[in-house]
Amino acid sequence: MIMNACVLLKVIPTKAEAVLESIRKVDGVRKAFFTYGRFDIVVFLEVKDYAELRKATTAINSINGVRSTETLAEA
């Protein structure tokens, strides 16, 4: 089973480039790019289950410069 999820991030503006670079190295990340509006970065994940999703989102949340995240998991 493959599960898709979208993670919306708010980051510290001066660290945005470094955050994006670090996110792209996290297992399960398919795409990650800057956005305009309420969120700064959007990340698309492809994982096998909720355990892997938790691992990926924990890794993303631990990156220096990430202020907050919102994860939208495929139902």
When pLDDT is cut at 50, 70 and 90, the band that residue 70 belongs to is very high
Q: What is the average pLDDT value for the chain, to the nearest integer?
A: 97
Domain residues for the domain of 41 are 3-73
Residue 6 pLDDT exceeds 90: yes
Contacts of 54 (CB under 8 A, 6+ apart): none
Which CATH number is 9's domain given? 3.30.70.920
The rounded distance, in Å, linking the Cα atoms of 5 and 14 is 26
Q: What is the pLDDT of residues 21-57, one digit of tens each?
A: 999 999 999 999 999 999 999 999 999 999 999 999 9
C-alpha angle 68-11-16 in degrees, rounded to nearest 5: 150
Alpha-carbon distances of 18 from 4, 28, 45, 54, 63, rounded to whole Å: 24, 18, 19, 22, 9
pLDDT exceeds cutoff 90 at 1: no
9 has pLDDT over 90: yes
| Number of domains present in the structure of the chain | 1
